[in-house]
Amino acid sequence: MSGFGWPVRIYWEATDAAGMVYHGAYPGIFEQARVEWMRHLGFDQAHRDGNVTGFFAVKCLQIDYKRPLLLDQQVVVTCCVSSSGASRLILAQNIMHEGQQMAEAMVSLAWLDAMRKKPIRMPSNLKQKLQEQ
């Protein structure tokens, strides 16, 4: 899978007593890469200009665990646009370690109005950046 890749190290906080990443920690690992990918595209979470009146919210997250992630592993988490609509974005994400796929996820995101928390059309500049991916 091509697309954006973000390096992540596995720390104690994500692991269980056996030193493997607990299944509930995977969504946070995928989220970290999505946030960095959006920052890379020029859409920083903390920076809101007058034209940005919304945000992405996870609608659905499906994870397929392939191999266990272990304490102190250095992995790369990828993000790639699978499809998009007026207010919807579906991403394919992978966690890779030394060329092996450790987990994959399909993430469905909805662009929501910041005030009403209801789906609205994505800003045109964001939509254009996503189509370039």
pLDDT value at residue 133 = 76
CATH-assigned architecture of domain 4-131? Roll (3.10)
Q: How far is CA 107 from the centre of its chain?
A: 7
All structural domains of the chain with their residue ranges: 4-131
pLDDT at 50 over 60: no
**Residue 16 annotated to the active site:** yes
pLDDT value at residue 1 = 46
Tell me which of 16, 49, 64, 72 is the catalytic residue: 16
pTM: 0.90
Tokens 């056996």 found at: 18
pLDDT at 52 over 80: no
